């Protein structure tokens, strides 16, 4: 080693319009995680790629305005989720954010009876994965985002709240309801005491 590894904020600050090497390293560190997060919120790979790309560009251009108050990834994810929710709102048309929030609070918990009655058809892991994916897609984008940040990124509720610009109570509810919805889908397996994955 010739020197200490620069942290994320150092890399962001070192980047200029003429020299993007530091920024390239920063993008390499976080691209896959940001893309996966956007994919979970949007449920669409191509839109997720667009949103992730735009999030990095926005962060880069506005880098002088950010302060090192939080982890860089928290900031990046916040930009990602804002862009993604804008995209969701745009797709849904004229409905306002408050209407969306109301709609999200009443999301339908899942799984058609047909799916629940066919445990043998879903015995293979791939089908089970598809069931989980389908269940996730029935949740609202915010529920999915909260679940992803908790389960995969392992973030504490406080950091999830910061990332999603929500209250601690909202995050708690989103995670509880999200897991409850998925649990309902997986119930045939869970009740048999089988290992789910």
Partner 1 sequence: MNERDPQEELDAYLDGELSEAEREALDDELEQSQDLRGDLDRLRRTSGSLRAHFAEASEALVDERGEAIAVERIVRMSTQELRRDQVVRPRRRPSPLMIAAVIVVLAGLAILVLAPILDDEPDPGRLVDGTMKSLERQALEFELSLGGLLHRLPLALAGQSAADLSRGTLRLGPDGLFHLVLGQGEDGALVEAGRDSRGLWLAAGPTEPIRRLRGIESETGLFRGVLGFGDRFRDLLEEARRRPEAVQLVGQVKDELSRPLWKVRLLDVAGGHGGELWFDDSGRLAKVSMAGIVARVNHEAGLGRADFELDHIHPDRTIEDEER
Q: With CB under 8 A, what is the number of residues at the site for partner 1?
A: 53
| Closer residue to partner 1 (CB): 61 or 101 | 61
Task: Centre a 10 Å sphere on the Cβ of residue 53 and count the other Cβ atoms it contains.
Answer: 16
Which one among 151, 165, 167, 169 touches partner 1, defined by CB under 8 A? 151
Which one among 71, 78, 138, 179 touches partner 1, defined by CB under 8 A? 179
Sequence-distant (6+) residues with CB within 8 A of 40 are 136, 144, 145, 147, 148
Rg (CA), the chain: 19
Q: Would you give the distance in Å from CA 173 to the centre of its chain?
A: 16
The Cα diameter of the chain in Å comes to 61
d(CA 31, CA 52): 8
118 contributes a contact to partner 1 by CB under 8 A: no
Interface with partner 1 in residues 37-76 (CB under 8 A) = 39-40, 45-46, 49-50, 52-54, 56-57, 60-61
| Closer residue to partner 1 (CB): 121 or 125 | 125
Span from 74-82, 106-114, 116-124, 143-151 in contact with partner 1 (CB under 8 A): 143-151
Helix axes 168-191, 157-164, angle to 10 degrees: 110
97 contributes a contact to partner 1 by CB under 8 A: no
Q: Nearest to residue 142, comparing CAs of 110, 174, 172? A: 174
Q: How far is the CB of 160 from partner 1 (least distance, A)?
A: 10
102 contributes a contact to partner 1 by CB under 8 A: no
User: Using CA of residue 14, residue 15, residue 20, residue 23, what is the dihedral sign?
Assistant: positive
Chain contacts with partner 1 (rule: CB under 8 A): 15-18, 20, 23-24, 27-28, 31-33, 35-36, 39-40, 45-46, 49-50, 52-54, 56-57, 60-61, 90-91, 93, 128-129, 132-133, 136, 147-148, 150-152, 156-157, 172, 175-176, 179, 182-183, 186, 190, 195-197
């Amino acid at each position: 080693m010739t020197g200490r590894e620069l942290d994320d904020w150092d890399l962001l600050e070192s980047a200029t319009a003429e020299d993007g090497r530091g920024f390239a390293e920063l993008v390499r560190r976080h691209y896959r995680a940001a893309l996966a997060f956007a994919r979970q919120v949007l449920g669409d790979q191509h839109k997720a790629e667009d949103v992730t790309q735009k999030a990095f560009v926005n962060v880069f251009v506005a880098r002088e305005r950010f302060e090192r108050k939080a982890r860089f990834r928290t900031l990046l994810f916040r930009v990602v989720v804002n862009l993604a929710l804008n995209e969701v709102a745009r797709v849904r048309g004229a409905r306002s954010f408050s209407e969306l929030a109301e709609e999200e609070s009443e999301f339908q918990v899942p799984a058609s009876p047909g799916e629940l009655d066919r445990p043998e058809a879903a015995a293979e892991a791939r089908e089970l994965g598809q069931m989980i994916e389908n269940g996730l897609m029935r949740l609202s984008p915010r529920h999915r985002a909260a679940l992803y940040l908790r389960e995969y990124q392992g973030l504490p509720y406080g950091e999830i709240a910061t990332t999603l610009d929500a209250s601690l109570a909202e995050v708690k509810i989103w995670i509880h309801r999200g897991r409850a919805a998925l649990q309902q889908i997986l119930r045939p397996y869970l009740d048999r005491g089988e290992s789910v994955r």
